[in-house]
Chains A and B, each alone.
Chain A
Amino acid sequence: MTGDRRIWLWFTPVLLVLGGVFLIPVADVIRFSFSDATLLRPVTGYGLDGYASAYGDDSLPVILRNTGLFTLLSVVSLQAMGLAIALLLVRGDRRGLWGMGLLRTIVLAAWVIPGIANGLIWQMLLSEAPFGAVNSLLRLIGLAPVAWLSDPGNAMLSAVIANVWQGSAFSMIVFYAARRAVDPVLYEAAAVDGASPTAQFLFITIPQMRGAILVNTILVTIQTLNTFDTILALTGGGPGRATEVLSLNIFNRVFYSYDLGGGSALAVLLLAISMMLTLVYLAVLMRKGTR
């Protein structure tokens, strides 16, 4: 019992800090979501009006569809890119190739760039001006320029590309660590049995990394759901609402409409989605036998 008490003693500072930094602001958001607060006046009453106005907004279905599409495309691409880079690095390490550390650093450099800067970088690259970088390259090789940002469909794709470019490093780290932890004896045995590289990937690598893939899926999903800075700088959510995701809509609702109550109500929705994914994450972690 004494040992248990000591554990709680050690946990107390962490709990206090986490409570102060995370729980109190979250509680405040929940309180505001039931209020009529705006940025221009304090709370004068509580009720469900904020939820009614935010959830009854005609644009919400479009925004949720954008959010779902952006998240789905981003998560699939982040997993694929992260896994590909991680496997490349592992293979390079195994063969003792020069520059693997440099490659890791380059990939990580994208990760540390702030989202706003990332959006600006891709806005310049994908510019549809006659001197736009990517379109100029396309013209050089005889291809027609692409309406990367002005076409509503392509604009979403461009936002995904920018997000994936920045976020792949995180997936790479997770997968690199998981792949390094796979027992090499499994591959040696498979090679002795004559298994092809594809078979080794499908029947050893993927099953052995299943836990990491699941956990990474949930983490990058939460991360992508909360992404709005890159989109803000890249397209501002446009053209029209073509790339306006839920997190950006919350920002606009609070800072353009001054609707703190309605914005908080939508933030609670975002929080609920993230919480559900976190619970899945915890369930995955606790599953026996996952790595």
Chain B
Amino acid sequence: MRHTLAYPLSAALALTASAALPQDLITRDRVGPADAPNVMTFRLTAFDLYSSDDATREFFEQKFLALMADYPDWRIETQLQTDNIGQEQARMLEQVRAGRGPDCAMIDSSQLGLFKSAGVLSPMNAHFTQAQIDDLFPFVRDGVTDAEGNVLAWWWFTSLQVLYRDTSLVPDAPATWDDLQAAALTTVAAGREGVLFNGGRWEGTAFDWLPTFWAQGGELVDAEGRPVFNEGDNRDKMLAAINYYKGLVDSGAAPSRVTTIINYDEFNAAAAAGTAGMFIGGNWQFAQLRGTLPADQFANWELSELPGPTADQRATGTGGWTIGAFSDDPTAVEICARMAYEIYATEGNAFQGLLPTSASLYDAYDTFDGPEYDAFAEALVNGVARPGAAIYPEISNQLQILLGDVLSGAATPEDALDAAAAAVDAAYERL
């Protein structure tokens, strides 16, 4: 059933009813009556219930109040996470293990494996139907379930990388690495920077580059979570992927400044200034470009799936957030599961324009009718999630160093790869 009327109606109600919102039921650190005898804690990010955008905040306040009306004896004590994801999630895992963690929390999808392997998540099977589980994208279903089929978290939105291009310079979407380099050089000849991508020391660099490795079938870790990216065929695939980026910089198709880019906003700025022909960015940037660029300039920008070594070898990295329960209390787990699905995964996603993790939800809301969502859904078929292994953050760290060294000419791809693998192996031994 399409929620063509239900969604805008509920959004409108959320906005217009805000004046009548019982403020004492929602504060900066609580949802529900202050004197409710039962308490659960929920650790969340600052982008929805506590968003700086009034409309978003009010929408989520209404959704939370509606849900908690079913639990009049409960209150949620909310705890905000900072945007230092790695540090926050590591600290939260430590707290959960020590018995001081929240009852329910947002867990970054790249960190979910850590929590799964630590055995701290409470199954939420009872609160999801088999149809809902089957409807999840395969990489999502694999991510949130364990070997026994238990649903340990709900992945409520995903993200992916795509190639943005200015069609006035690059009319056709490059399908291969060679196509991309040729198109970028055409753009450079027109006086712009060719293709931009993250190349500095931050997670975005590794995350945006890894699809070049995954598109060849490369694997970072084995089934036990042991790093294997420098072994056997994986080493050749790694070197091919590194040399692809190196070739872009050496040929001038990408400026050397890519090693300084540690923020997706750089791409928006370049698009707004009209200085870039293409960039590898996140799906969420399409809405940002629409809001930033003049209509005629925005009309030139299109997105497409990331190019692969061949047109048939494609991959994109998928991210996003999950919600999981750490509590042993069945009601707290139930509230957690309902928040994940009823507030965030469905209407919350539609309101914010985030990418749902279930195929049917794209048909359920008008929000997802734009052609860009067709492209996103198409690319998600080749989505690959970062491994949920404890060693992944260090692999990412070493890949960032590797790419910086190679692209700045400080090391050869072979030497940089060997150094990265040695460092990762040493870190793995210490885990």
Contact = CB atoms under 8 A, between A and B. Distances in A.
B63 interface: no
- Interface residues of B, dominant DSSP: helix
Contacts of B405: 239-241
- Which of the four size classes fits the interface of chain A? 35 or more
Given A40-B118, A59-B423, A240-B405, A130 B273 contact: yes
Contacts of B394: 256-258
B204 to A, nearest CB: 10
A255 B273 contact: no
B423 A57 contact: yes
A131 B257 CA distance: 13
Contact of A259 (B193, B201, B422, B427): B427
A240 B269 contact: no
A244 B405 CA distance: 12
- Which of the four size classes fits the interface of chain B? 35 or more
Nearest to B201: A236
A193 B122 CA distance: 86
A136 B405 CA distance: 27
Contacts of B200: 235-236, 238-239
A238 B259 contact: yes
Interface string B251-283: 000011111101000100110010100000000
A46 to B, nearest CB: 14
Interface string B99-114: 0000000000000001
29 contacts: A38-B430, A38-B431, A39-B93, A40-B114, A42-B97, A57-B423, A58-B419, A123-B260, A128-B260, A129-B193, A130-B275, A150-B260, A235-B200, A235-B260, A236-B200, A237-B201, A237-B401, A238-B260, A238-B404, A239-B259, A239-B404, A240-B408, A240-B411, A242-B404, A256-B86, A256-B393, A257-B430, A258-B90, A258-B393
Interface of B: 86-87, 90-91, 93-94, 97, 114, 118, 193, 199-202, 255-260, 262, 266, 269-270, 273, 275, 390, 393-394, 396-397, 400-402, 404-405, 407-408, 410-411, 416, 419, 422-423, 426-427, 429-431
Interface of A: 36, 38-42, 49, 53, 57-59, 123, 127-131, 147, 149-152, 235-242, 244, 252, 255-259, 261-262
Given A123-B260, A150-B259, A239-B199, 12 more contacts: A40-B90, A49-B430, A129-B266, A129-B275, A149-B260, A152-B410, A236-B200, A236-B262, A239-B260, A256-B393, A256-B397, A259-B430
